Structure 1
Amino acid sequence: MSALGGADGNDGPGGVALIDHDTFEVIGPWEVDRGPQFFAYDVWWHLRHDTLVTSEWATPSMLENGLNPEDLLGRKFGHHLNFWNMSERKLIQRIDLGDQHQMVLELRPPTTRQDLGFVGVVISVEDLSASVWLWHKAGDQWAVDKVITIRPSRRPDVLPPALQPFGAVPPLVSDIDLSVDDRWLYVSCWATGELKQFDVSDPFHPKETASVRLGGSCGANRIRRCPTCRCAAGRRWWRSAATAGESTSPTRCTLRGTRCSTPRRRRVDGQARR
């Protein structure tokens, strides 16, 4: 199980905790040799390559009282992808995306490939953009390339007062998700309220094909589909009932007429689907 904090209430390092499958008690850290890794968040694995991948967010103290903008502007959040030898449980490669790219969150590898995957980055403090990166095998090493950039919305006429000094609304990518056939990547932009669809048939060159706006902080709702592609018609888009301000966050994908993936009922304030 992945964890932001360390053992016994320590702020870090975060990482992967081993859980007893009978008692559900924490056995201890999975990592034997973590090297310089300190931040943690999501975790995935490539069994054929004996590799575990982890992303980075923050420590509990950086989040439990709300996000401190000074930490963000000071580039104090996680900005690495970490690659581990699964058998030896040690860090073997650490890739820095650049400290301007803050909060490296959701890991989404396709089921049809064992040598790559997508990861979402919340914000660049240089231009307020968000991004999606592709990690992939490059010889004996792993490499990471930025394949999607989502620009901030610059509409001064609709900016709420809190964002007017910035002149734009950052997308703030909070979740990404692959369709069950691995063809489509859905990107949830929490602040602008957009859910974007990308064709990732060529994972190195994604193409945006559609988007829907479900609230957010920069204008009226809208639905947009690529005029030359009707592929969006075969997907259902789900948004969490628990997200604030009618913005998009966790995503679930299904194919019409199938039960490959079922959106889960959520409980908020003790009431289902509230």
Structure 2
Amino acid sequence: MATGTVLATAGSNSGGKSCCKSGPGYASPLAAMFGPREKLIYVTALYSGTGLEKPDYLATVDVDPNSPTYSSVIHRLKMPYIGDELHHTGWNSCSSCHGDAFADRRFLVLPGLISGRIYAIDTKTDPKAPSLYKVVEPKEILEKAGLAFPHTSHCLATGDMLVSCLGDKEGNAKGNGFLLLDSDFNVKSRWDKPGHSPMFGYDFWYQPRFNTMISTSWGAPKSFSKGFNLQHVADGLYGSHLHIYKWPEGEMKQIIDLGNTGLLPLEIRFLHDPSKDIGYVGSALSSNMIRFFRNSDDTWSHEARRVVISVKPLKVENWILPEMPGLITDFLISLDDRFFYFVNWLHGDIRQYNIEDPKNPVLTGQIWVGGLLQNGSPVKAVREDGSTYQFDVPQIKGKSLRGGPQMIQ
């Protein structure tokens, strides 16, 4: 996953008078669209499944077109341990703290999914060469919150950070919940109230104006940490639910079962407009995009009779199954709420849809950047007449793109 950091921010003024100092980020998503372009991005690089006993690292990539080192890795920060499996990343402070003049977006939060550690990375002292600030050890997290397998982190307006954890120390999903860290990465407590843990954990998104947080479902760590097994879905080791919480109290008030159209709902997003009470969730295994919304009685629903987008599986040869799902693993919504973009990890394409009519997205762009069906792969898609085909994938600086699009930022 890549996260961007702005090296220089544009000043603002009104009538020649300097405005009061504000906190990090922007006052609104639309304001962010007019901010300066990022000059650096930070990308996690990991060795899980490679057979190489090396520590994961954080790569700093130069994305300034005017720089002599443009489009290259200019620094690698190795983690102090082996076997972390860095996954999602987040910031210690963001636009949620824009009104706090003392807040500072300084630290990148790196949860180690398998090790249970959470790293705080200082990106402000030297943005081009970040350094390790602090390690939150799994023992402390277990002792104070009973949680393990940290995954997604989000900064809060209070200055705290909230981290979803996907299980207990044995890898059981029933032990999952949400970890609350203070501004200096000290473990405060478990956020969800006793008896209000989700069935499975993964991503989450909160909407303060509607006093709601919604979390999604991946699976039991003892299952996914050993590699995906389709039988485990039938065995109930993976989820298909959304969990609706009262924000910020941490009390679960509703569970939505997405059924077979929503197997493995991973990433979730509300529209950026804070007055809109609708959003989308991407179902990985079912390869569907599902719209959810608030009802007049303050409960939440999803469109059960239809999904707004369904990616059809492709007939294939030379693969483990006769049909290959797209496997939607991530998506994002443009800051003006006009488009969303999602990735099909296995098929290898990124799609753009116009969502100005949220109930009826329209495909407006598509590009293949990897996946299992690119030219030269042994795996081929099969047409109805039995002929086969593959997709052209562009080269970047003379190098072929390997793997598939899994996260976007």
Q: Scaled by the length of structure 2, what TM-score is found?
A: 0.50
- Select 2:283's aligned residue among 100, 105, 121: 121
Instruction: Give the RMSD, CA atoms, in angstroms.
Output: 2.3
Alpha-carbon offset, residue 75 of structure 1 = 4.8
Distance 2:347 2:292 in 1: 26
Partner of 1:228: none
- Select 2:332's aligned residue among 171, 177, 185: 177
For the pair 1:220 / 2:391, whether they are aligned, the reply is yes
Contact kept, 8 Å, 2:344 with 2:405, in 1: the verdict is: yes
Partner of 2:347: 192
Taking only the aligned residue pairs, the percentage that are identical comes to 27
Q: SS state of the match for residue 323, structure 2?
A: coil
- Select 2:199's aligned residue among 38, 41, 46: 38
Q: Which runs of 5+ in 1 are unaligned?
A: 125-129, 224-240, 253-274
Equivalence map 1:46-61=2 (5 Å): 46-61=207-222
Distance 1:119 1:190 in 2: 16
- Select 2:291's aligned residue among 112, 131, 134: 134
Partner of 1:167: 322
Q: SS state of the match for residue 231, structure 2?
A: helix
Contact kept, 8 Å, 2:261 with 2:288, in 1: the verdict is: no
Q: Scaled by the length of structure 1, what TM-score is found?
A: 0.73
Residues 85 and 131 (structure 1 numbering): CA distance in 2 closer, same or farther, change over 3 Å?
Answer: same
| 1:68-92 deviation per Cα after TM superposition (whole angstroms, max 9, x unaligned) | 2221344531100111111432110
Partner of 2:302: 144
Q: SS state of the match for residue 239, structure 2?
A: coil
Residues 53 and 217 (structure 1 numbering): CA distance in 2 closer, same or farther, change over 3 Å?
Answer: same
Partner of 1:235: none
Q: SS state of the match for residue 37, structure 1?
A: coil
Pair member with larger Rg: 2
Partner of 2:405: 248
Residues 173 and 184 (structure 1 numbering): CA distance in 2 closer, same or farther, change over 3 Å?
Answer: same
Alpha-carbon offset, residue 35 of structure 1 = 4.2
Greater relative CO, 1 or 2 (CA 8 Å, sep 6+): 1
Partner of 1:15: 177
Distance 1:220 1:118 in 2: 28
Match of 1:133, as an amino acid?
A: I
